[in-house]
Amino acid sequence: MDMRIDASVVEKMLEDSRGTGAGKLDEILDRAESLRGLEPEDVASLLTTDSPEHLSRLFSVAGRIKEEIYGERVVMFAPLYISDYCVNKCQYCGYSCGNEFQRRRLTMDEIRAEAEILERMGHKRLALEAGEDPVNCPIDYVLDAIRAVYSMKSGPGEIRRVNVNIAATTEENFRKLRDIGIGTYILFQETYHEPTYLELHRAGPKRDFNYHLTAFDRAMRSGIDDVGGGVLFGLHDWRFEVLGLMLHNRHLDRTYGAGFHTISSPRLCPAEGMDLSEYDDLLSDEDFKRVVATIRIAVPYTGMIISTRESAEMRRELIRIGISQVSGGSSVEVGGYSLREEGGEQFEVADKRSAMDVMRWLMDERLVPSFCTACYRKGRTGDRFMSLAKSGNIKNVCLPNALMTLCEYMMDYGDDAFRLQASSLIESNIPRIKNERMRTLTKGNIEKIKGGARDLFV
């Protein structure tokens, strides 16, 4: 059965959880700390408590889980916007068909040029983004764009994984995406509260709440086993949205054997044609941190993504309590990387640092920037990834692959200062690889990379 969600049921779960006793909250947090994850009913109790003691422990447990499962590594990626044509009228979105501006879609040559710029920045993993327009941005155009990205070879590297964030589509189209070799299919529900959803999505195919909600069912039936969810926090009450995400994750896990591979947590921000002051459910920084911490302990093995919508300081705090993937040097404009090189980029992000500056910052924090794409290429996806993650064995490959990709980056893009910093970080992390065979293999591969070998992974 496809995913269904009833707003009244979610609201009742939240209401019934209010006043959860201290003993029950302790038991929930104890279970979370054992890396077993939580049921949505448990999450509801954490979302509604006002207990300072338990909220403090929530953040502490989230930090320990992040350290235990992900260690010091942080995956790097960048978005690639290929078309801003859209037939949907979404009140919060700058791409809304109700906004008047000169629309653009990239040619294949322009897409390869954007991918080449991103490769020169060191990126190996992209999130391909596009508005919904069956005439100006049909599925065949998206497929050609993916081929163009994968075909780009320039300098010392190439793009090794293209994740795709496009509109809900048919099983036939999902099979086409599967066959071309996408990484993760990403789609934000925006809001799980159907009345709010219908109010904000005034026209276009995206207005169909249930068709949008069941996109992951069609994707997984079509053989795409890595899917990434998310909501746009600020459209409705954040407690409702987190619980909606957890109910969706449970549905996917029970039905297809794997829940979300990643969860994204963007906050509503200013856009063309919308007034931020009209939204009553905007999150404070403290509530936003609580969102991230709660999701982290509820689904400990799910990657969590934060974009350059958030400031450098907020991203630093969120990484410590749950975030495992960050964008760097991002542009959120169609053709934005080329425009930036020409000095003409139109839109802004909160964290404007280059990819290398983000990496330096991560290393200053003693974190390991990673460009790893090994799991997808080794078939560790869907339920196979989750079984490895939950057994603890995934850690045997994640840190080694992170260190190898960092070494590759420093050799190809780093100046002397960067190489010195990265070499020190690599050397200090090799002893943290607990498996002796993997530790020896990693040391040998790093020497091979320094000698000119590329794309080594385990």
Domain ranges, ordered by start, for the chain: 68-352, 392-450
120 vs 249: CA distance, rounded Å: 36
Q: Please tell me the predicted confidence (pLDDT) of residue 346.
A: 43
Rg, Å, the chain Cα set: 21
Task: Name the class of domain 68-352.
Answer: alpha beta
90 vs 206: CA distance, rounded Å: 8
Task: Indicate the pLDDT class of residue 383, thresholds 50, 70 and 90.
Answer: confident
pLDDT tens digit sequence for 232-252? 999 999 999 999 999 999 999
Average pLDDT for 369-394: 85
Average pLDDT for 6-17: 97
**CA distances, 274 to each of 55, 90, 94, 99 (Å):** 34, 10, 8, 10
Helix axes 22-33, 40-48, angle to 10 degrees: 120
Q: Which stretch, 328-342, 374-388, 397-411, has highest mean pLDDT?
A: 397-411
Spell out the residues 6+ positions from residue 247 whose beta carbon is closer than 8 angstroms to its own.
Answer: 5, 10, 40, 192
Q: Please tell me the predicted confidence (pLDDT) of residue 54.
A: 98
342 vs 333: CA distance, rounded Å: 14
88-102, 231-245, 330-344, 393-407: range with lowest mean pLDDT: 330-344
432 vs 451: CA distance, rounded Å: 24
Average pLDDT for 334-358: 78
383 vs 224: CA distance, rounded Å: 11
- Reference 348, options 277, 272, 264, 279; nearest CA is 272
Find out whether 295 and 306 touch, Cβ atoms under 8 Å. no
148 vs 145: CA distance, rounded Å: 5
Q: Please tell me the predicted confidence (pLDDT) of residue 271.
A: 84
**Predicted confidence (pLDDT) at residue 154 exceeds the cutoff of 90:** no
Task: Indicate the pLDDT class of residue 425, thresholds 50, 70 and 90.
Answer: very high
Query: β-pairing, 201-203 with 89-90?
Result: antiparallel
pLDDT tens digit sequence for 292-310? 999 999 999 999 999 888 9
405 vs 403: CA distance, rounded Å: 6
Q: Please tell me the predicted confidence (pLDDT) of residue 345.
A: 46
**Predicted confidence (pLDDT) at residue 347 exceeds the cutoff of 80:** no
Find out whether 230 and 189 touch, Cβ atoms under 8 Å. yes
Q: Please tell me the predicted confidence (pLDDT) of residue 348.
A: 54
Average pLDDT for 119-129: 95
Average pLDDT for 275-283: 94
**Predicted confidence (pLDDT) at residue 312 exceeds the cutoff of 60:** yes
pLDDT tens digit sequence for 24-77? 999 999 999 999 999 999 999 999 999 999 999 999 999 999 999 998 999 999
Average pLDDT for 203-219: 98
**CA distances, 404 to each of 77, 388, 411 (Å):** 16, 20, 11
Average pLDDT for 374-384: 87
Average pLDDT for 171-183: 97
pTM: 0.95
Task: Indicate the pLDDT class of residue 342, thresholds 50, 70 and 90.
Answer: low
Q: Please tell me the predicted confidence (pLDDT) of residue 396.
A: 80
Average pLDDT for 414-430: 97
Query: β-pairing, 303-306 with 157-158?
Result: unpaired
Using CB atoms within 10 Å of the CB of residue 6, give its burial: 0 to 12 exposed, 13 to 18 middle, 19+ buried: exposed
Q: Please tell me the predicted confidence (pLDDT) of residue 454.
A: 93
Average pLDDT, the chain: 94
Q: Quote the percentage of the chain above a pLDDT of 70.
A: 98
Q: Quote the percentage of the chain above a pLDDT of 90.
A: 86
pLDDT tens digit sequence for 84-112? 999 999 999 999 999 999 999 999 999 99
